[in-house]
Structure formats: structure tokens, C-alpha cells
Amino acid sequence: MGERSVQKKQLILEKAKEVFVEKGFRNVTMKDIVDACEISRGGLYLYFSSTEEIFREVLLTKEEEDHVLAESVGENATVSEIFALFLKEQKKEILRSKKTLAAAAYEYAFANPKDTTLKKQFNTGVAMLEKLIRMGIENEEFYDVDARIAAKNIMYVLEGLKIASLTMGVSGETVDNELYMLMQGLVIEEE
């Protein structure tokens, strides 16, 4: 597969992502993707042989984006500020969840219980938060909690908000309340 093909593959992944965002996972057919990419029926099969295969690659692309995000966080000042920034990003993500892969990813996970991509992404998040919390504790910015358990708790609340956003809608205010509680549980307030 030459240079040109790599570009085409990339194009397919981009267009396919839009389709998955719009239609979820199960609902998407190879034809949908063919139409979105404006290529021939057979053409798509040169690159991928099922919607599942395409979705897996789209998910990996997402993962990369997340990594980039995680690293860009590293440049900021105090741990509390980084944490606040992280939560702010999460809020954005939660509120626009209907315009992301989130629903499709859940559907995919339901259909593929063996696949561990979501789990890995979750664990990556936990690990990052854990590290952050440890730093906060060391700096005496955070209460002396069990960093791992606290990290997991944050991730579960975020998951809860995400699925709630997808299935019943949540207001910005609601998210703020939840995130505020998370901060409160960790950050030592100055008097």
C-alpha cells in the first residue's frame, strides 16, 4: 500500500468517524461509509473488511487524540490548576457527547465484550489522575486521600455524566455541580 493509499485510508477513517458519530455503531453499514467517502462499493473493501474493523481503527485514532491532550496538560502550573483544566475539558466533552464517538463506542463495547479498548482508555485516565492526585497530596494542595480510589471515583462520575448526557441529557449546571463536588473532595480550600 503506497503513499496514496495511506492518504485514502485516512480519508476513509475521517469520513467513517462522522458516520459513526451520527449513526452509532450497529446502525452503520458498509454502504453508509461507501456513500460518505464517495468511493466504490468494492473500493472500501481494499482497505477494510467490516464496519467493526473500521470502527476499531477510528477508536484508536481517538485514543491518540486523548494522549495528546493528556500531555498538553503537563505544561501548566499548580496541580489544582491542572486538575481544574482537566475537569473543564471533561465538561466540554460531556456536553458535546452526542457529537462524539461516545455512543458508538458504547454500542461497540456491548457488541464486543472481549475488546478492551474502552477499558484501556479508562485505565489510562485513572493512571493519569492518580499521578496528578499524588502530586497534589505531596504539594499539600490536596487532602491525603487514597489516590487510586479517588482517581477511580472521578472517572466513574465522569462516565456516569457521559452516559447520562447521551441517554437523557444533562445541563451545564448539573455537570458543574458534579465537578464541583469532585474538586471539593480533593482540593484543600484556602481560608
Binding partner of 49, given a copy of itself, DNA, none, CB within 5-8 angstroms per partner class: DNA
Contact characters 27-66, a copy of itself, x per CB under 8 A: x---------------------------------------
Binding partner of 26, given DNA, a copy of itself, none, CB within 5-8 angstroms per partner class: a copy of itself
- Is there a contact between 47 and 29 (Cβ–Cβ < 8 Å)? no
131 is a contact residue toward a copy of itself (CB under 8 A): no
24 is a contact residue toward a copy of itself (CB under 8 A): yes
CA pair distance 71, 66, nearest whole angstrom: 9
Residues 32-91 that bind DNA (CB under 7 A): 39-43, 45-47, 49-51
CA 83 to chain CA centroid, nearest Å: 17
> Among 10, 14, 18, 31, which residue sits at the site for DNA (rule: CB under 7 A)?
31
Binding partner of 46, given DNA, a copy of itself, none, CB within 5-8 angstroms per partner class: DNA
Short-list 10, 121, 22, CA closest to 70: 121
139 is a contact residue toward DNA (CB under 7 A): no
- Is there a contact between 141 and 78 (Cβ–Cβ < 8 Å)? yes
4 is a contact residue toward DNA (CB under 7 A): yes
Using the contact rule CB under 8 A, the part of the chain among 11-19, 45-53, 73-81, 172-180 near a copy of itself is 172-180
Alpha-carbon dihedral sign for residues 99, 21, 175, 153: negative
Binding site for a copy of itself (CB under 8 A): 24, 26-27, 98, 103, 105-107, 109-111, 113, 116, 118-119, 122, 149, 152-153, 155-164, 166-169, 174, 177-178, 181, 185
Binding site for DNA (CB under 7 A): 1-2, 4-5, 8, 29-31, 39-43, 45-47, 49-51
